[in-house]
Amino acid sequence: METNKKRGISFLFHMLGQGVEWFETIILSLSVLAMASLVIANVVARTFFTSIHFVEELTEMFTILITFTGVSYAVRKARHIRMGAFFDAAPYRLQKVMIFVICVVSGVVMFLMATYAYGYMSQARLTGQVTPSLRLPYWIFLIIVPIGFFSAGIQYIRTIVKNISEREVWLSPEQQGDYELEELQQIADEYGGVAEELSDELKDKQEKDEVGSDENKKP
């Protein structure tokens, strides 16, 4: 019974993580593509015709989207800035305690920021502030801010659950160790065979050179 309950909770958090990942991927990909397209189109228009007056506003909106969606993405992939020297040198038990404290404090901060951001967005909506060029409600640009902070808080909760259910220390729901080390290990695994072949060829060449040198020394 308890095993089925744990599986159900794990499945629920897995589906939640998949949904958040899908949301982040779509938002980040489309925002970067749209912003790049707008900037290029504006450069062409400014060179040959006239500048597009609303590009600055849309670029600002996409910058906000990328920034605050990236907050959640950074937490999920453990790409956020952290001081890892003391943490990596600490023993296993201390690492477990530290990761719990870090996730709890960071999660609380993210949820508080989401609350404040929602209040700011609501205030902008009540005041009826609009953008200068497109005359769009400014609060629409701010919708992603509370969503991004709230999503980051969810990622910290997922990290806590992951560290409770797993014996290993997890820096994020999807990242167990330093991603730099994992990437270096992947590169080493990928090119390890090539390095061995080059090493064998170098050894064979050295042996041939030694044999040739010995033959030349013989009278």
Q: Residue 46's domain spans which residues?
A: 2-80+92-175
pLDDT tens digits along 178-187: 555 555 455 5
Neighbours of 51 (CB within 10 A): 11
pLDDT tens readout for residues 10-24: 667 667 767 777 877
- The pLDDT value recorded for residue 86 is 73
Return d(Cα 38, Cα 59) in angstroms, integer: 8
CA dist., res. 102 & res. 87, Å (int): 11
Flag whether 201 is in a domain: no
Please report which residue ranges of the chain form alpha helices under DSSP H.
2-48, 55-76, 84-89, 92-127, 144-165, 179-217
For position 8, what pLDDT does the model report?
64
- Short-list 75, 79, 43, 81, CA closest to 59: 43
What integer pLDDT is reported at residue 214 of this predicted model?
A: 52
Residue 191 covered by a domain: no
**In sequence order, what are the residues at sequence separation of 6 or more whose Cβ sits closer than 8 angstroms to the Cβ of residue 17?**
76, 158, 173, 174
Would 157 be classed as within a structural domain? yes
Question: HEC states along 169-186?
Answer: CCCCCCCCCCHHHHHHHH
pTM more than 0.85 = no
Q: What is the pLDDT of residue 18?
A: 74
Residue 105 lies in a domain: yes
Q: State the total domains in the chain.
A: 1
pLDDT at 112: 94
Place of tokens 């044999």: 211
Positions of the chain with pLDDT lower than 50, given as ranges: 184
Q: Look at residue 120 and tell me if it is in a domain.
A: yes
In this structure, is residue 100 part of a structural domain? Answer: yes
In a domain, 56, yes or no: yes
Task: Report if residue 62 sits inside a domain.
Answer: yes
How far apart CA 132 and CA 142 sit, in angstroms, is 16
pLDDT value for 108: 93
